[in-house]
Amino acid sequence: MSIKWKKWTALLLAGLIGFSSYGSARAAGVDQGMVSDGADQDTQAVDTGERTQSEDAGQGIRPENTDQSIQPEDEAQIAQPGDANVTGTDDASAPEGERPVVNAEIGENPGVEADISENDQDIHADITTDDEQDDHVVITEEDKPYLALGANLNNEQKNTVLNLMGVDPANLDQYQVVTVTNEEEHRYLDAYLDASIIGTRALSSVVIVKRDKGDGIHISTKNISYCTIGMYKNALATAGLEDADVIIAGPFPLSGTAALIGAMKAYADMEEAEIDTQSLDAAMNEIVVTGELNESLGDDVRTEEFIAYVKQKVVEGGLQSKEKIQEVLADACDKFEITLSEGEKESITALMEKIGSLDIDLDSLIEQAGSIYDSLKEMESSGGFLSKIAAFFKDLLDAIVRFFENLF
């Protein structure tokens, strides 16, 4: 009896400790697949050696278009979006306070913005990808793709971006090419972000190819550290993009906001149609709102599914009134066990009012962002976001009760 008691006690304690560790890791946002693309990269190689990044780096919207090389007199290190490093002539061993840093985040002073020319310094950053959600898109010249390039790329940066997208720079004249300007970024983002955060350069770029009807949207990203693949899918489906393979790339890790505009410009060019400016405005609004919520929740997949769920219910019900949308939002918070601040409620409601006024086909929305809505179907069929965890605890408690019943 004593041996049996010790055996069962050890097993139960091991199970509880293991589950507690899992829950703590999930709550901290370090469960695999739950960390946003903007999360810090532990170590970045720079000209002067290895430098460890802080735990809270990479949070918030960072300007993808901050100028990228440093005037010799500045000798400053500028923290690039996604925690890439650009190094001037400063010593890596110098105290942190003596190395001016631009680290622009929503609602914060972006700091000292160095005025830099494109030829002063090379950029050193590892290529980053969203491995958890990446659709592993491959586009070839035979696909007759369309390109949208950031207007402020210098030649070296343009070649880097093209190579990441699988485009031979020597054959660029064989492609349909449009550009995305910083002025266009400001046109669509000034209503949602401070102009200093949007910055002065458009750098992220897109290659897109039309696929067969019903294929949906498939996306790969390279060096995009703020906008996740799920965020792009949600927003592009809102904007009306259909059945396309998309690769979005930056010359180094950056936010990727210009790429959303680029994708729609290239798509409109491909379809020989005008851009629906209302839909694109809603899509840009959605990117910002989703990004801000993700900062709060620290879980990109959960954030994307939450926004997709609310959007689905709004489109499905043809909802446009603030009161009805708030009812849907409250229901979603219960299902996902999310608590929103008043500011978050207001921003999501305003976004959904805008989406509700668009002529969006629900079947097309679900088809285009299929992977996200497939997860929502699974969640609802299982009875809720945390139903599996609840079931685990129930089974565990039942096992404990049976154990003591058998014991005595």
CA 213 to chain CA mean position, Å: 26
- Parallel, antiparallel, or unpaired for β 146-150 and 85-86? unpaired
* pLDDT confidence band for 62 (50 / 70 / 90): very low
Q: Which SS3 state, helix, strand or coil, does residue 324 take?
A: helix
- Parallel, antiparallel, or unpaired for β 85-86 and 78-79? antiparallel
Average pLDDT, the chain: 73
Mean pLDDT, residues 374-400 taken together: 61
Question: How many residues are present in the chain?
Answer: 408
pTM (global) more than 0.75: no
DSSP string for 227-274: S-HHHHHHHHHHHT--SEEEEEEEEEEE--HHHHHHHHHHHHHHHT--
* pLDDT confidence band for 102 (50 / 70 / 90): very low
Domains of the chain: which residue ranges? 146-275, 277-360, 367-407
Residue 297 pLDDT greater than 60, yes or no: yes
Mean pLDDT, residues 292-312 taken together: 94
